[in-house]
Structure 1
Amino acid sequence: MLVGATRPDLAGLGEGFDAFWHERHLCTLTTVRSDGTPHVVPVGVTLDAGTAIARVITSRGSYKARLVAAAGPAGAPAAVCQVDGRRWSTLEGRAVLRDTPEEVADAERRYTLRYRAPRVNPDRVVIEIQVTRVLGNV
């Protein structure tokens, strides 16, 4: 599977793809440091296939959040990936930081549905990735 577009039709990738992104899997988030090297960390990811938006909740002071915030409104290049045996999927796009109470609450609700209720964190923000490319074998 390789899909690339401004906003790919993730819903059109089938039930297997959708199910894979709803199963409970640990993922990785890759962002790029100022020196061009990758910064890869384990995260939980939720995906809204209808809008092609992946979300990661984190603390405002985390390095990943600071990297994304430093990119400003244009966003930072980012990728999230999950693997389960031979099945894998990578979502690439531009990441921006969201921090309104409504955006954080929505991301927490989505995270709770896929994983479990997150711990209370008054410094929580959302890394929101507008997916532009999908790779994988699902």
Structure 2
Amino acid sequence: MAIDLRAPGDAYVAFWREYHMSTLTTPRPDGTPHVVAVGVTYDPEGGAKGIARVIANRHSRKVANVLAAGPAGARVAVCQVDKGRWATLEGVARVRTEPEAVADAVARYAERYGRTPAPNPDRVVLEIALTRAMGRA
């Protein structure tokens, strides 16, 4: 079911604030999908249609996949499932390395998941400018 990114609805936003692990799908350089478990935060007011954020190690495969796509970014998807409820956010990911962007993403992660990740000097943020949402929350 399509979700309007400009007005996603209270239940959809609330689902993205509950504690759920998600998957992130990034394209490998050969075009095949790379799917990995991640924590995701969703900011429906960020950007033109919302932003999703994934904190990651700069040396991870998911970060390498996004960087390999070039400066325009990589088309990615994040998804979470809980019994009959599910939600997918799609968009264009770019790697952010600025300390303030990383700190903001870590704070958002801590709020959603109830714990602050250990300090990591290699931490970056995959910031996803959203283009599509689907789900049943």
- Structure 2: gaps (5+ residues): none
C-alpha offsets along residues 44-75 of structure 1, whole Å, 9 cap, x if unaligned?
A: 00000112100000100001011111222200
Distance 2:45 2:65 in 1: 27
- How many residue pairs are counted as aligned between the two chains? 133
Q: What TM-score results when the alignment is normalised by the length of structure 2? A: 0.94
Give the CA deviation at 1:132. Answer: 0.3
Residue aligning to 1:125: 124
Distance 1:130 1:103 in 2: 14
Residue aligning to 1:15: 10
What amino acid does structure 2 have at the position aligned with 1:57? I
Residue aligning to 1:78: 76
Residue aligning to 1:31: 26
What amino acid does structure 2 have at the position aligned with 1:16? A
What amino acid does structure 1 have at the position aligned with 2:40? V
Q: What TM-score results when the alignment is normalised by the length of structure 1? A: 0.93
C-alpha offsets along residues 19-38 of structure 1, whole Å, 9 cap, x if unaligned?
A: 10000000000001111110
- Structure 1: gaps (5+ residues): none
What amino acid does structure 2 have at the position aligned with 1:15? D
Residue aligning to 1:2: 2
In the TM superposition, what are the counterparts of 1:28-107 in structure 2 within 5 Å? 28-51=23-46, 52-107=50-105
Distance 1:71 1:36 in 2: 10
Between Structure 1 and Structure 2, the one with more helix by share is 1
Distance 1:129 1:14 in 2: 20
Distance 1:16 1:73 in 2: 34
What amino acid does structure 2 have at the position aligned with 1:95? A
Distance 1:70 1:83 in 2: 28
